[in-house]
């Protein structure tokens, strides 16, 4: 059997992030072959993940990546079992790496992304990255969702890491600071749609029915019902629709007006929360 030196163990530990004894044992089992030892450690990580697969994962982190030069951005939801792991630097870094891969590799599918060669290191898959961190942290984790956008994008992740936003606009005006402010607005105000036409028609019709019934029940004259209904529905849209919401940093203007004045047009937004929508 090849001699397992301290330098070999140290090198494997730096590459895997695992305890010295785990690295030494893997090297002993593979006759000192560092590549095979690393593969063995990853297989053990996969086995550990399988054993932990039934555990609930109600905590996690949103990873985000935006590349302005390439016109892409992505969000990645990485879930785990406990809040402390959600705040672990290795876990946070993993979420960011997955988001970067999703943005640049161009195939943001949570079901298949794990099998893809990691964009920054094709010698390992995205799943290998996850198993490496799982091996170190010893807690179940999963790539729950990934989403990718194309175009001029801006992003924001809330300070607790559990809520992420991506915004896509057209136009060269405005500043990155403004786009960041609008992303924070989306995080805080949780619009359901970009514009009123994007709201489900059945949801809008149901709201109209409810509002009409309330107006009639209040005893308003019949010839005033439709006029009052228009006002109530406008108020409803101002709560539900991003472009019609009063901007949080200047509530005298709507988000749509702020964008228009900056020479911008909102194309799409994503708002993703760990364990939710």
On whether residue 68 sits in a domain, the answer given is: yes
Query: Which residue in 240, 248, 236 sits closest to 188, CA to CA?
Result: 248
Query: Which residue in 167, 131, 117, 100 sits closest to 18, CA to CA?
Result: 131
Q: What is the number of structural domains in the chain?
A: 2
Q: What is the pLDDT of residues 91-125, one digit of tens each?
A: 999 999 999 999 999 778 999 999 999 999 998 89
Paired residues of 66 in beta bridges: 73
**pTM of the entire structure?**
0.80
Contacts of 231 (CB under 8 A, 6+ apart): none
**Mean pLDDT of the region 5-17:** 77
102 and 66 in a single domain? The answer is: yes
- Distance from C-alpha of 270 to C-alpha of 171, rounded to nearest angstrom: 19
- At which of 150, 185, 209 does a domain end? 150
Phi first, then psi: give them for residue 83, nearest 5 degrees.
-60, -40
Residue 14: CATH number of its domain: 1.10.8.10
Helices 34-52 + 126-137 axis angle, to 10: 70
Phi first, then psi: give them for residue 118, nearest 5 degrees.
-65, 130
- Distance from C-alpha of 176 to C-alpha of 156, rounded to nearest angstrom: 11
Q: What is the pLDDT of residues 117-171, one digit of tens each?
A: 999 999 889 998 998 888 888 888 999 999 999 999 999 999 999 999 999 999 9
Residue 144: CATH number of its domain: 3.30.479.20
Residue 230, number of CB atoms within 10 A of its CB: 11
With a cut of 80, say whether residue 17 has pLDDT above it.
no
24 and 71 in a single domain? The answer is: no
- Distance from C-alpha of 96 to C-alpha of 77, rounded to nearest angstrom: 10
- Distance from C-alpha of 50 to C-alpha of 65, rounded to nearest angstrom: 29
- The CA-based diameter of the chain, rounded to the nearest angstrom, is 95
pLDDT of residue 50: 59
Residue-number span of the structural domain to which 13 is assigned: 6-52
On whether residue 203 sits in a domain, the answer given is: no
């Amino acid at each position: 059997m090849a001699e397992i030196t301290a330098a070999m163990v140290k090198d494997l530990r730096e590459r895997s992030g695992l305890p010295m004894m785990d690295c030494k044992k893997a090297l002993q089992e593979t006759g000192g072959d560092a590549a095979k030892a690393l593969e063995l450690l990853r297989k053990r990580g996969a086995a550990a993940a399988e054993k932990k697969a039934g555990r609930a994962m109600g905590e996690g982190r949103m990873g985000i990546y935006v590349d302005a030069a390439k016109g892409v951005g992505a969000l990645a939801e990485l879930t785990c079992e406990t809040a402390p792991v959600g705040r672990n630097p290795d876990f946070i870094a993993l979420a960011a790496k997955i988001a970067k891969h999703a943005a640049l590799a161009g195939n943001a599918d949570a079901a298949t992304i794990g099998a893809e060669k990691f964009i920054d290191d094709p010698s390992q898959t995205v799943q290998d990255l996850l198993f490496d961190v799982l091996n170190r942290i010893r807690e179940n984790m999963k790539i729950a969702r990934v989403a990718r956008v194309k175009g001029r994008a801006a992003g924001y992740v809330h300070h607790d890491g559990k809520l992420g936003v991506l915004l896509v606009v057209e136009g060269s005006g405005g500043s990155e600071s403004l786009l960041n402010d609008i992303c924070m607005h989306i995080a805080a105000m949780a619009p359901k749609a970009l514009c009123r036409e994007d709201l489900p028609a059945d949801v809008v019709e149901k709201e109209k029915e409810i509002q009409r019934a309330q107006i009639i029940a209040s005893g308003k004259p019949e010839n005033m019902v439709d006029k009052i209904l228009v006002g109530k529905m406008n108020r409803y849209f101002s709560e539900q629709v991003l472009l019609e919401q009063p901007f949080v940093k200047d509530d005298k203007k709507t988000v749509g007006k702020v964008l228009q004045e900056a020479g911008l047009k909102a194309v799409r937004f994503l708002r993703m929360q760990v364990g939710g929508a």
